Structure 1
C-alpha cells in the first residue's frame, strides 16, 4: 500500500497548524486565569484592570470557538488579531505589574508573532477548500509581525543575559554556536520581512522551534526558580510559542 503523498502530508501539516493556532485562545485564557489565581495568593494585581479582564477573556474565547468550528474563520481570525493587539497594549500601558525589560521583550514579541499568525489565518492560508482567493496583503502583514518577533529574539540573544544563559545551558559549542543561531534567526527575519523564500524560512523555523519549546521554554526550573518568572506566566509563554509553531506550519505548507 502506497504511503501518503507529499501533497497529502502538506495538507495534514497545514490542518495541524490551523488546529493549534485556532485553539490558542483557550490555552491563553486558561493560563491567564491560573496566573492571576497564583498572584491572588500573593495579593498581586492582574495585568488588565477588572472588569475589563473578563471582557477580554470572553472575546478571546468567543473568537477561538468560532475559529475552531470553522465558522467565518477569516473574520474571527482577524478579530482575534485585533483583540490580542488591544489587550496587549492595555496590559502594557496599564503598568499594574512590573516586569523586567528582558521579560517584556519575551512577552510582547511573542504576542506580536501570534497576532501575525492570526493575520496569516485571516488571509485564507491553510484552508483545505479555499472558496475565496487569499488576501496577500493580510498574509504579508502577518509575515512582517513574525519577522519582528525574530528580530526581538536576536536582540534578546545579544543583550539579555537571561536568554543567553538559557541557550548556553543546552547548546554545544558555547558562544560560537550562539552567534550562529543569532545569524540564522536574523536571516530568517529578513526572509519574513521581505516576503522572499517564506515557505523555506517557515520550514526551517518550524523545525527549530519545537527544540526551543522543549529545551529552552520547557526548562521551568531555570525560568521559575533562577529568573523568578511566575510559573503560569512561563506556561503562558510556552503556549505562545506553540501557537507560533502552528502559524509556521501553515506558512511552511501553504505559504
Structure 2
C-alpha cells in the first residue's frame, strides 16, 4: 500500500509544480504592467518599447492560457521559452532602463531559469498520462539553464554586497552559513549541469527555494526601501522564483 501512496504523492506534487509553472506567464505580465504603471508616475521608460511590449505580453498570455488548459502543452511551453528568451534579450540589449550589475544578475539569471523550466515542461516531464516519450535533449538543456541560475546565486553570495547582507541579516550562523550555502548551491549547480543525481538535487532545492522566497525575497523593506529595487520589480522577481520552484518540483518528482 505504501508504494501506490508514494506514487500518488509524487504525481500530485508534479501536477502542483506544473500548475505553478504553466500559470507563471499571467503573474509575470501582471507584475510587468504594474511595474510600468509605477514607472509612469516618475516618467521612467519600460524595458521594451511600447508597441513591442504589448505583442510580447499577448504572446506570453496566449502561451500561458494554452499550457494551463493542457492544450498542446509541449508546443506552447517551447513557445513560452522562446518568447521569454527574446523579450529578455531585447530588454537587455535595448538598455532603456539602467540597473546595477548585482540586480542584473538577479533579474536575468531568474529569467534564464524560467526558460529552463519551460524547456523541462516542453520535454514532457510532469505529464500525468504521458502518451509520447519525453524529449531528453530538451530536459537536459532546461537543467543546464537551472544550473546556470544556481551558479549566479553562488556568484551573488560571493561578490554582491546587497545579496550577502540580505542573507546575513536573516539567517542564523552569519558568514559560516553563507559559505555553507555557497557550497550547497555550487554542488546543486554541478548536479544540474552534469545531469548526475538531478532528481535528488531538485528535491533538495525544492526545500530550499521556498525558504529563500519567504525570508530573502519576501523582505520587501530591505529590497525596496534600502536597496531601492522598484516594488513591482521585486514582486516580479518573487514570482520568478516561485515559477522556478514549480520547475524544480517537476524535476524532483518526475526527473
- Whether these two folds match at TM > 0.5 is yes
Q: Could you give the per-residue CA deviations for residues 192-239 of structure 1, whole angstroms, max 9, x where no partner exists?
A: 000000100000000000000000000000000000000000000000
Deviation at 1:112, TM superposition (A): 0.3
Tell me how far apart the structure 1 counterparts of residues 4 and 240 of structure 2 sit (CA, whole Å): 30
Which residue of the partner structure matches residue 15 of structure 2? 15
Deviation at 1:50, TM superposition (A): 1.5
Tell me whether 1:212 sits opposite 2:194 in the alignment: no
Q: Which residue does the alignment assign to 1:196?
A: 196
Q: 1:2 deviation in Å? A: 8.8
SS in 2 for 1:51: helix
* Counterpart Cα distance in 2 of 1:103 and 1:2: 46
Deviations 1:159-217 (A, max 9, x none): 00000000001111110110000000000000000000010000000000000000000
Structure 2 gaps of 5+ residues are: none
- In the TM superposition, 1:131-142 aligns within 5 A as 131-142=131-142
Paired residue for 1:95?
Answer: 95
C-alpha root-mean-square deviation of aligned residues, in Å? Answer: 1.2
Q: How many residues align?
A: 255
Deviations 1:132-163, CA, capped at 9 Å, x for gaps: 00000000000000000000000000000000
Written as runs of structure 1 = structure 2, the 5 A alignment for 1:165-204 is 165-204=165-204
Distance 2:2 2:95 in 1: 58
Structure 2: how far apart are the matches of 1:4 and 1:251? 19
Following superposition, which runs of at least 4 residues in structure 1 exceed 6 angstroms of deviation? 1-4
Give structure 1 stretches of 5+ with no counterpart: none
Q: What SS class does the counterpart of residue 5 from structure 1 fall into?
A: helix
